[in-house]
Structure formats: structure tokens, C-alpha cells
Structure 1
């Protein structure tokens, strides 16, 4: 996502849960007067926004606002689904906009120029946020990679979902699509955290399941080599970040030096720290959800910054609860070697494996229960592909929106610094 794509517009191409205009009206209404009241209201807003993201099972734990907990329980969105990731990104944009308002109000009170220490803290947050631009680029590339998987899976499902008798040509087309998909999954799993899951299943079964005894060894080897070449071609063209770029190292850079303000630090110290924690949570979840280079190492808990004191910040309990849930998902046996924790990716992997097993066990021509198994697996995979298509496009748009919001925020910060210098 090059910065030149940004046109400077503050309007989003889609609607947020709460519009930014109504957000500003709400902010003005609940911040009666005084810097202390402004900062306390900001902390409460961050807390309620994060509490709304808690899964229903966790909504009552760590959410101080009962209405926020009820909203979390009623959302109906599964944790780490594409819809949930979109809500997380929306939450970041809302918090960032509130933070911008808080800083602007502080500048007005200070006569347009903050104390040097406060300006330095705000500038440090902007620099931290700029490091998230690479994460947005990698996540956008990851979404595009998942879209390639979906296309291949849809080819396999469509070949076997047509009405009428399933013929050998349809099975060959489905096997070819699954072979190409397996090569991509193995390649991306190796780049992210080591091959495993459906990727290793398909790789180990490629010759037996998709080659069949009737294919000559040379032809089977040639097909596998062609699939690997296709995967390498996709990888060489798909990542806009450097080949040596690491999601784990980038998250460490975003969280570096992120520590709770000391007792004598007042003013904007707490809001800056709050936004740093929200930024790190958002980027960590993005890296965990979609394919990113070195995302396996990024899921390790030791890459997280020091935990905020629960009693000191109202948003700390829901934020820590979300971090703990993300860490638990990464440790699950069926997700440990996945290319991403996104619910739709997990469904695609399971449904693809189910169809591969059904094809492997099916005689030619198909008949009876074997044909029903193949058709059922193909229909399940087709439904997963449709759900994935519905979720990926709005997710990619929102990742782009976050990218441009960060750019705009940084430009505004530089403009303010230059104005203060004058």
C-alpha cells in the first residue's frame, strides 16, 4: 500500500459501527471540562471499545462496563473470524480518532504548544504507529494470498459439485486444483511457522492421492514440480515487504519501550501509553490471523510488551483478556501449524483435507456412498469458499483504511510539530 495511494480524505468507503462525527459529539458531551475529565473519559472509551471485542464467554471477565459486556455477548461473531478482525480494526480507528481529539484539546489549553515532554511522547507514538505500516502491507498481502487459496479450492469444489455423474475428467481437475493448493499451503506454512496441518497432509499424500497408480512416475514428478514452481512464483510476486522482513521483529519494534507511565508522569502520558497498547494488540492480532512472514515466532508470548497494571487502567483487563485468548488460539493443537488463525482459513484447511480424503478413497467411476462422500465434501468446501469471499474483501478494505489513517495521523503530527517550531 504505497503512501501515494492516500488522497487525504477522512471519509471511509464503508460505515463504522459508530460514525466519527457522532463520536466527536459523544466526546464533547461526556467531557464537560478540564484536562483530567478529558483523559478519564478517553480511558473509559478505550475500555468499553475493547470490552465489546471480548468473546461471549469472556465478556463478563475484565469488562468493567456492563453494557459493553452485553454488546460483546450479543455480537454473535466468532473470535478471530474476518468479521471480528474488522471490528478490531474499527476499534483501533475509533480509539485513534479519540486520541487525536484529546491531543488537540490539550494543545488548545496549552496555547497551541504542548510542553516539550508531552510533544516528545506524542511524536514517539506516531513513530511507533509508522512501524505498523509494514504490518498493514504484510497483512494485505496475506489476505491476497488467502484469496489465491480460495480460488483453487473453489475450482476443486465446482468441478465435483456440478449436477450429473462425476466423471474422471472432473476428478482430475479437482485433484490438480488440490495439488496446486497443497503446494501453496506448504510454502506459506513453511514461511510462517513450519509446514503442518492440512499442508503436510496434502504434501505427504500428493503422489498417492492425486497422482494415482495409472500416472507414470515421471508424469507425477513433473506435476509436483510444476505445482512447486507455481507456488514459488506466487511467493516471489506476492509480498510487498522485504524477503528478510519478519513479523516477529516488527512487533518487537512496535512494542519496544512500551511501559506504563510512572507516578509523576501526568497529562498525555497515560493516553499515549493506552494507544501504544491498542496499536500493539491490533497489529499482533493481524499477524496472527493471516499469513505473514515469520508469523509463527510472532505468536510467542515473550514478544509482548510488559503487561499494563490491571488496577491502573480501566482498559487493561479486557486488553489482557484478548491477548490471553490470542495466545491460547495459537497454542491449540489444530491451529499450531496453520497458515493463519483466521476462522475462515481454519475452515478452508479442514474442508480441503476432507475433500482430499474423500477423493483418495473414491473408486472410478464413483458410485453409492463414495460418490455421496465426495459430493458432500465438495459442497462443504464450496460453502466455505463463499463465506471466505464475503469476508476477505471488506477486511482488505479496512486494512487499507487503517494504513491511510496512520499516514494521515503522522502527517498531522509533523504539521503540528512544524507549527510549534515556528
Structure 2
């Protein structure tokens, strides 16, 4: 997402949980009460916004923790907090006569510089979503080949095997690039150069199938990342969190809001890296890449933020997710359903009949449902990642304009 893509639009195509109109009305309502009350209200707004992201026992399937819908809610929360922060800074400037004290202006500028470092994370996440979309297309080919009505013929099985072999190649490569091969990628890698264990396949036929799979996978891998080949999600998260420390007792004014936004930014970037394929995302999930924990008693938003961080860390340590290409719920479902279909095909006789045919059709239907869910979730998620990118760019431009105005 190059900066030149930004058209300067201030409107969002998304419907946020709390509209910006409501935000402006709430913010305006607290302004007459003074700067201290405004800053406290901002802290409470951040706390309530993060608390809404905590997993609920009665959450619907679409809002499950780390689902595409939940990641969108997290991104919306960041945009909302950033807009509130912009209003708080603007009000502080008006109170100070359009020019903040040097120390306050420096803190705001440091946050903008920190946010600019998240632009690479947005680019990598956008590429990761696009990669998942390529997995979905291959999985859908396999599911569609076996989901047609009527008898399942050998040609349909061959087409499904071919798509799953191409998918296995991508999963192995992406898992190795992110955090090391394992899980479903390790399972499917054993099928990379053979026709899912079919003993009747001749060597020449197997070689042709393997060569075709490699050529197809090479085509997909030719779509390069928009970030550098040496770019590391772990190092980028370290850069975003570098120097992020709670304000000292004598620091007042914008010190606390700036720190709050730095923590929300870091959480959002970390969750994006954890959820979708990103270079070096495996190392990024380690706890030492998080900044120092905010004092729970000092900030009302600290408890929900720390609870979200702890839950993310727990998900990354789960045995069935440790070697996944991403913690996104839809990715996990795709990996499990793909493995189930691969096993069903591998055990199926030709022609299919009885329980074996039912197993294959059931696995294909399950994978088709997962693919449909991914299609519904990935497109709005990618659009929202782009929106966050452009919001950060606009915020930085506004900050530079304010600095130039103050310098004059």
C-alpha cells in the first residue's frame, strides 16, 4: 500500500461500532469540564473500547477470538482510539493558543513516528491476507471437484489431489518462512511429489504430477511481498515498542494519552502479525517482543489490554496452533479441513463407494464451507487494513502540518 494510494479521503467505507459522529458528540460534551477531565475521559474511552474486544462466552461464531470478524473489530477499535486521540491533541493545542509546549509537541511527534513504523506491518498483513486468499482458491478447487452431484470419477479425484498438492507446497513454504514447517504443512509435505500415496500411480505419472505441482507453486510464489525480503515482523514490533514506557509521576498533560495510544498501536500490530502470514512472525509471537506492561492501577485500560495480550500469547503456545501459518481462526479451520480431505482421498478406493465415498463428500463439503467463510471474511479485513494504513498516513501528515504551523 504505497502512500501515493492515499487520496486524502476522511470518510471510511466501514460502519464502526461507534460512529465518529457519536464520538464527536461525546467529545464535545466533555470539553467544557477542563483539560484534566478530557484526558480522563479519553482513558476511559480507550478502556471501554478494549474491554469490548475481550472474548465473551456467548460470542457468535463470527466474533470468536482471532476470527476475521474479531480482527476487524480490533482494527476498528484502533481507528476509533486514534480519532479520539486526534481530537484530544487538537483541543490541547487550542487551549495552549495553537502551540503546545515543546515537551508535549515532542511526545506527539514521537507517537506519529512510532505509528509510521506500523505501515510496514499493514503492508505485510495485506500481503498475508492475499496469501491466505490464494490458499482458499486452491482449497475451493479441491472441494468443488468432489462436491458436484453424481458419481465421483477418477478425474475428479486427480483434480482434487493436484489442488491439495499445490496447496501443501504453499503451506510448507509459508510455514517455514514464518515459523518453521509443522502441523498440517508437515503432514502434507509428504504428499508433495506423489499422488497422495496411490500405489497404482506409475513413476512417470508421479513425476509429471510432482513437476506440475512445483510449477504451479512457483507461479504463486512469484507474487513477491511488498516488504523487503529481509524484513522481519519481530524486529518491526520491537521498533514500534522501543522506548514505550509509562509516564513518570511528574509528567502530566498529553503524556498519558500518548502512552495509551502507543500501547494500543503495539497491541494492534502484534495481533495482525500473529493472525496472518508475515515474514518472521514465529519470533514475533515471543513475549519478549512486548513492551513493559503498563501499571494496572495507573490506567483504566491496562487490565483489558493485558488480558488481550495474555490471550494472544496463549493462542500462540497452543500445540495445535504453534506451527500454523497464522493464528486466524479461518486459517486454522482451513488447515484442519484440508488435512481431513487429504486423508479421506488417500484412503479412498477407485471407484468410490459406500462409507468411503461418504467420507470424501463430507470432508469436501466441510472444506467448501470453510472456503465460503474465508471469502466472506478476508475481503472486508483487507479493506480495513488499508483503511488503518491511510489513517496513519493522514494522521502523520496532519501532525507535520501542525508542527510547521507552530514553527511559523
User: Fold-level match, TM-score > 0.5?
Assistant: yes
Once structures 1 and 2 are overlaid, which stretch shifts more, 337-346 or 233-242?
233-242
Q: Report the Cα offset of residue 29 of structure 1.
A: 1.6
Residues 356-382 of structure 1 show CA distances to partners (whole Å, capped at 9, x for unaligned) of 000000000000000000000000000
Q: 1:329 to 1:58 in 2, by over 3 A?
A: farther
Once structures 1 and 2 are overlaid, which stretch shifts more, 236-245 or 338-347?
236-245
Q: Report the Cα offset of residue 34 of structure 1.
A: 1.0
Once structures 1 and 2 are overlaid, which stretch shifts more, 217-226 or 283-292?
217-226
Once structures 1 and 2 are overlaid, which stretch shifts more, 115-124 or 220-229?
220-229
Q: Report the Cα offset of residue 416 of structure 1.
A: 0.2
Answer whether contact 1:192 1:291 (CA < 8 A) is retained. Answer: yes
SS in 2 for 1:206: coil
Answer whether contact 2:68 2:330 (CA < 8 A) is retained. Answer: yes
Answer whether contact 1:176 1:210 (CA < 8 A) is retained. Answer: no
Q: Distance in 1 between matches of 2:143 and 2:218?
A: 24
Answer whether contact 2:195 2:209 (CA < 8 A) is retained. Answer: no
Q: Report the Cα offset of residue 27 of structure 1.
A: 1.4
What residue number does 1:275 align with? 261
Residues 316-345 of structure 1 show CA distances to partners (whole Å, capped at 9, x for unaligned) of 000000000000000000000000000000
Residues 229-276 of structure 1 show CA distances to partners (whole Å, capped at 9, x for unaligned) of 433442342310000000000000000000000011110000000000
Q: Distance in 2 between matches of 1:384 and 1:118?
A: 49
Q: 1:176 to 1:417 in 2, by over 3 A?
A: same
Answer whether contact 2:123 2:226 (CA < 8 A) is retained. Answer: yes
Q: Report the Cα offset of residue 220 of structure 1.
A: 2.1
Equivalent positions of 1:23-62 (< 5 A) are 23-57=23-57
Q: Report the count of equivalent residues.
A: 408
Q: Report the Cα offset of residue 57 of structure 1.
A: 4.6
Q: Report the Cα offset of residue 208 of structure 1.
A: 5.2
Q: Distance in 1 between matches of 2:353 and 2:62?
A: 59
Q: 1:178 to 1:401 in 2, by over 3 A?
A: same
Residues 103-143 of structure 1 show CA distances to partners (whole Å, capped at 9, x for unaligned) of 00000000000000000000000000000000000000000
SS in 2 for 1:207: coil
Answer whether contact 1:51 1:63 (CA < 8 A) is retained. Answer: no
Q: TM-score, normalised by structure 2?
A: 0.97
What residue number does 1:64 align with? 62
Q: Report the Cα offset of residue 17 of structure 1.
A: 1.4
Q: Report the Cα offset of residue 226 of structure 1.
A: 3.8
Q: Distance in 2 between matches of 1:58 and 1:263?
A: 40
Q: Report the Cα offset of residue 224 of structure 1.
A: 2.7
Residues 374-407 of structure 1 show CA distances to partners (whole Å, capped at 9, x for unaligned) of 0000000000000000000000000000000000
Answer whether contact 1:187 1:231 (CA < 8 A) is retained. Answer: no
Residues 2-48 of structure 1 show CA distances to partners (whole Å, capped at 9, x for unaligned) of 11111111101121111112211111123442110010000000000
Once structures 1 and 2 are overlaid, which stretch shifts more, 31-40 or 273-282?
31-40
Answer whether contact 2:237 2:269 (CA < 8 A) is retained. Answer: yes
Q: Report the Cα offset of residue 417 of structure 1.
A: 0.3
**2:309 paired residue among 302, 309, 323:** 323
Answer whether contact 1:48 1:63 (CA < 8 A) is retained. Answer: no
Once structures 1 and 2 are overlaid, which stretch shifts more, 387-396 or 201-210?
201-210
Q: 1:28 to 1:315 in 2, by over 3 A?
A: same
Q: Report the Cα offset of residue 228 of structure 1.
A: 3.3
**1:308 paired residue among 294, 305, 310:** 294
Residues 185-238 of structure 1 show CA distances to partners (whole Å, capped at 9, x for unaligned) of 001000000011111101113445526223333442443344234334423423
Q: Report the Cα offset of residue 64 of structure 1.
A: 25
Answer whether contact 2:169 2:192 (CA < 8 A) is retained. Answer: no
Answer whether contact 1:209 1:356 (CA < 8 A) is retained. Answer: no
What residue number does 1:213 align with? 199
Q: Which runs of 4+ in 1 moved over 4 A?
A: 62-65
Residues 278-300 of structure 1 show CA distances to partners (whole Å, capped at 9, x for unaligned) of 00000000000000000000000
Q: Distance in 2 between matches of 1:410 and 1:266?
A: 23
Once structures 1 and 2 are overlaid, which stretch shifts more, 244-253 or 215-224?
215-224
Once structures 1 and 2 are overlaid, which stretch shifts more, 29-38 or 181-190?
29-38
Q: Distance in 2 between matches of 1:116 and 1:145?
A: 45
Q: Distance in 1 between matches of 2:61 and 2:396?
A: 31
Residues 50-96 of structure 1 show CA distances to partners (whole Å, capped at 9, x for unaligned) of 0000001599xx9999xxxxxxxxxxxx0000000000000000000
Once structures 1 and 2 are overlaid, which stretch shifts more, 196-205 or 335-344?
196-205
Answer whether contact 1:47 1:63 (CA < 8 A) is retained. Answer: no
Q: TM-score, normalised by structure 1?
A: 0.94
